[in-house]
Amino acid sequence: MNPTHAVTPADITKAITQIKRNPGRYMPQRPLPTTPGRRKQAVLAAGRNAVAAALFEQVPGTSWSNLTKAIRKGCNAGVVFEAINLAGAQALGLELPQ
C-alpha cells in the first residue's frame, strides 16, 4: 500500500494560481444551473474539481481516492474544505449567488 502524500497549504496556493492562469482548462463543460441553491452547489463543485485537477498534476501520488486524506495530512485535521472549494471557484471567475 502506498503512503498518502501530504498536500500542503503551499500546494493549494500553487494550484489556485495555476487555475487563475488558465481557467478555461479547469472550467466545467456543462452550463451551471440558474436556481440559486443549485448554482451555489455547482459553483463549489466546479471549484473543488478545478483544485483537485491542479493538485493531481502537481502532487505525485494524489488521486480522488486519497485527496481528502492528503489535504488533512498536509494542512491539519480541521481544514475547511468549503473555503478551498470557494477559492477554486473564484480562481475560475465564478461567484456564489446572493
Rg of the Cα atoms in the chain: 13
Q: Is 86 helix (H, G, I), strand (E, B) or coil?
A: helix
pLDDT digits (tens, 9 = 90+) for 38-86: 999 999 999 999 999 999 999 988 989 999 999 999 988 788 999 999 9
Dihedral over alpha carbons 42, 19, 86, 71 (to 10 degrees): 110
Give the highest mean pLDDT range of 4-8, 25-29, 34-38, 61-65: 25-29
Burial of 17 (0-12, 13-18, 19+ CB in 10 A): exposed
Task: Say which amino acid occupies 51.
Answer: V
Contact 43, 5 (CB under 8 A): no
Q: Which three cell numbers stand for residue 69?
A: 486524506
